[in-house]
């Protein structure tokens, strides 16, 4: 028998080829596009009368208030935007007891703006709610130091005091008080009718005083004119003239002339 030896099988080396040029080109393009998109994500816009705070991982890194397009690194970024334009707020009507213990209803118009964006955004939870609450408190505290009549006459000093008191509270919030104007000032509903009668009575007394003063002047002038014209008047005549003129001038009804007619044979 013939002894045959088996020949070992030789493994064929794999046919490995390096990536072609289009692969490298495509990978490069993909990387550039990805990086470009990531870079474009860092763009942001600031409008007029706006301020944007840029934070990275909780730390303030930039504060931008110049209008236009800007860029900041996008990784770990957090933006906070706040308006610096003037804001008008109507302080709600509230009941206040004046210095005489009379309840009155008062409201005001507040105009303010944000002047320090960092304080307004980072130091206060809600700057607008804070300013508006402080405005109501300042208005109530200031109005309680005056009477209703003083508030009607001296509204300008009261408004300045409210603005000054409010500004002291708003400094920590980065807000600036532009103006405070009293909008409504009335008696409380429960006493409005009684106070209206009081005002009417005071006005009636003033009117009566003016009428009496004018009537006295008219009477004195009439007597002087009659004497200057050459008439001789006794004291009783002067009293009669003054009485009649006062009755006519001060009376609320129209005067009716009375003619004395002597009876025949008298």
Dig out the tokens for 183 from the structure.
């909008």
Band of residue 128 on the pLDDT scale cut at 50, 70, 90:
very high
Backbone phi, psi, residue 76, to 5° = 70, 20
Going through the chain in order, the beta strands assigned E by DSSP cover: 43-46, 50-56, 59-64, 68-71, 77-83, 87-97, 103-114, 175-187
- What residue ranges do the domains of the chain occupy? 27-82, 87-187, 192-249
What is the per-residue pLDDT for 34? 66
Q: Average pLDDT for residues 97-106, to the nearest whole number?
A: 88
- Cα(196)–Cα(194) distance, integer angstroms: 5
Q: Average pLDDT for residues 143-171, to the nearest whole number?
A: 91
Dig out the tokens for 129 from the structure.
């709610």
User: Mind listing the pLDDT tens digit for each residue in 222-243?
Assistant: 878 877 887 777 787 777 777 7
Q: Average pLDDT for residues 132-147, to the nearest whole number?
A: 94
pTM over 0.75: no
pLDDT above 70 covers what percent of the chain?
76
- Cα(113)–Cα(91) distance, integer angstroms: 16
Dig out the tokens for 175 from the structure.
């807000």
Written out in words, the top-level CATH class of the domain with range 87-187 is alpha beta
Band of residue 161 on the pLDDT scale cut at 50, 70, 90:
very high
pLDDT at 17 over 80: no
């Amino acid at each position: 028998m013939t002894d045959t030896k088996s020949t070992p099988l030789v493994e064929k080396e794999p046919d490995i080829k390096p990536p072609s040029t289009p692969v490298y080109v495509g990978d490069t393009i993909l990387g550039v596009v990805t990086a470009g998109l990531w870079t474009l994500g860092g763009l942001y816009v600031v409008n007029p009368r706006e301020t944007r705070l840029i934070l990275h991982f909780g730390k303030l890194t930039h504060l931008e208030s110049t209008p236009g397009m800007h860029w900041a690194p996008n990784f770990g970024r957090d933006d906070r935007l706040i308006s610096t334009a003037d804001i008008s707020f109507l302080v709600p009507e509230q009941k206040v007891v004046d210095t005489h213990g009379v309840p009155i209803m008062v409201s005001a118009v507040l105009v303010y703006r944000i002047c320090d964006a960092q304080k307004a955004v980072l130091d206060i939870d809600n700057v607008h709610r804070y300013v508006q609450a402080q405005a109501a408190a300042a208005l109530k505290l200031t109005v309680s130091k005056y009477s209703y009549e003083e508030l009607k006459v001296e509204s300008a000093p009261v408004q300045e005091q409210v603005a000054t008191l409010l500004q002291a509270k708003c400094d920590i919030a980065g807000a600036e008080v532009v103006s405070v104007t009293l909008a409504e000032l009335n008696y409380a509903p429960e006493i409005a009718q009684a106070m209206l009668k009081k005002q009417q009575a005071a006005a009636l007394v003033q009117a009566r005083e003016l009428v009496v003063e004018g009537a006295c002047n008219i009477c004195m002038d009439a007597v002087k004119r009659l004497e200057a014209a050459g008439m001789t008047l006794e004291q009783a005549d002067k009293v009669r003239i003054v009485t009649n003129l006062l009755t006519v001038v001060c009376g609320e009804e129209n005067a009716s002339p009375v003619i004395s007619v002597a009876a025949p044979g008298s």
